[in-house]
Amino acid sequence: MQFISGKHMPRRTFVRGMGATLALPFLDAMVPAGRLWAKDAAATGTRLICIEEVHGLAGCNEWGGTQNLFAPAKVGRDFEIKDDSALASLRDYQDYLTIVSNTDVRNAEALSPPEIGGDHFRSSAVFLTQSHPKQTQGSDIFCGTSLDQIHAQRFGQGTPMPSMQFCIENLDQAGGCTYNYSCAYTDSLSWASPTEPLPMIRDPRVAFDMLFGAGGTPEERAARRTTRKSLLDWIAGEVATVQSQLGVEDSRRMDQYLTNIRELERRIELVESRNSSGDERALPEAPAGVPDSFTEHMQMMFDIQVLALETDMTRVISFKTGRDAQNRVFPDSGSDRPFHPASHHGGRPEAVLEFNKICQFRVGQLPYLLDKLKDTMEGDTHLLDKTVVLWGSPMADSNLHNHRRAPLFFVGKGNGILEGNNHVQAADGTPMSNAMLTMLHGLGHDDMQAFGDSTGELALNLPSTLSTDAGSR
């Protein structure tokens, strides 16, 4: 066990044993005597989670815009989210919500005739880089450095994992990418450099083992699972030693943290057991640790992300929740239409509303993450106050493969970067990269003059007096 006794416990404290490594959450015992929580808690930095929604939203269709299925009618504060809006599930978090409407992702568009029709195969690479990918099937891929990696390279180096990358759908397409685009462009959101896309983790078991070092070797991991012992059982003595030195509140916080780990591990084991039973699976190609249920999978990955942020194992996360051309059906959405065919709704109102059911369902996964962040205390406040969740899509109207007026919103206060309860409507022709440049400046990258195709900043905190009717778009 790495533990230094004295006046306070170091922030970077781990419990180790039998190939497992358990980082601790931020505790009162980690604050030096005489120092204030707020000052010490701020030192952990702002957390950033970037989530891509593929293939736009129903509310970015021309008719869907008139129905405010994404952007509210009112600009400024105290906007109204309609019942059939894709954002309806976020009403309880309106005070943390900053909606950005009417921005364009033009670098996802075709810039030359050979690129026409290849929107599905370049869009994801554009989302966090706001750069136009080079059309190639070879090794000479080229795009841009993504927002999350710009932040991780400067402010994530003090954490064990500068960044973590997650996904939901299968990203190993084995040559299934066309229009002369490398699959690297569809398989990653995060680019460490214009030529270096980063791999994404789909399997909750892989993510869990990476986060907790659950077994130093494949043999140790296999032995632990054979005994059906929890990760925590292998380090129970070391954990007990730490807890014996904690105060009442810290002990309570540790108990909740350990309970969350044990419960997540139990759920992963149940999924693996169910998927290894020989019964027919809805996702036959998926690893045993990947749930067939979209909601269950999303919640597991959100749980892992919150644990990673809570322990300061990382402060930067990217999360790809789908593929543009996927044909997955989401029965819990109330629609029996496959995702991609539903997205090509022809602009017909009834078909737009059918696709909107799927959009509402997918965005509706987000409150689970927000609840977890708000329930996770760090000092005198919770993680949602210290986190920026960036959610958006590089596509707007999926039926037209249009990248104008694409959806974007932020949730969380980010240590004061955002005020929330704002609908920011950009002027026509404004690049989405303007909002991202503003966010980068808020995160501490004051020296950045531009990002992607940005033309300047986009004010994300509106004066409380600004409140007008946006009309339909």
Question: Same domain for 26 and 63?
Answer: no
> Of the residues 245, 270, 288, which one is the last residue of a structural domain?
288
Question: Same domain for 186 and 324?
Answer: yes
Contact 66, 48 (CB under 8 A): no
Q: State the CB neighbour count (10 A cutoff) for residue 143.
A: 26
Question: Same domain for 303 and 354?
Answer: yes
> Of the residues 268, 288, 308, which one is the last residue of a structural domain?
288
Length of the chain, in residues: 473
> Of the residues 271, 288, 305, which one is the last residue of a structural domain?
288
Q: Which residues of 2-13 are buried (b: 16+ CB within 10 A; e: fewer)?
A: eeeeeebbebbb
pLDDT 10s digits, 14-26: 888 766 788 899 8
Q: Is residue 207 part of a domain?
A: no
pLDDT 10s digits, 434-457: 999 999 999 999 999 999 999 999
Dihedral over Cα of 166, 168, 172, 176: its sign: negative
Question: Same domain for 458 and 317?
Answer: yes
Give the count of domains, the chain.
2
Question: Same domain for 316 and 255?
Answer: no
Reported pTM: 0.92
Q: What is the pLDDT of residue 226?
A: 63
Question: Same domain for 279 and 185?
Answer: no
By mean pLDDT, which of 207-221, 354-368, 378-392 is the weakest?
207-221
pLDDT 10s digits, 110-168: 999 999 999 999 999 999 999 999 999 999 999 999 999 999 999 999 999 999 999 99
Q: What number of H helices and E strands is found in the chain?
A: 14, 15
Question: Same domain for 307 and 262?
Answer: no
Q: Which domain holds residue 283?
A: 1-39+212-288
Question: Same domain for 57 and 129?
Answer: yes
Q: What is the pLDDT of residue 334?
A: 97
pLDDT 10s digits, 67-117: 999 999 999 999 999 999 999 999 999 999 999 999 999 999 999 999 999
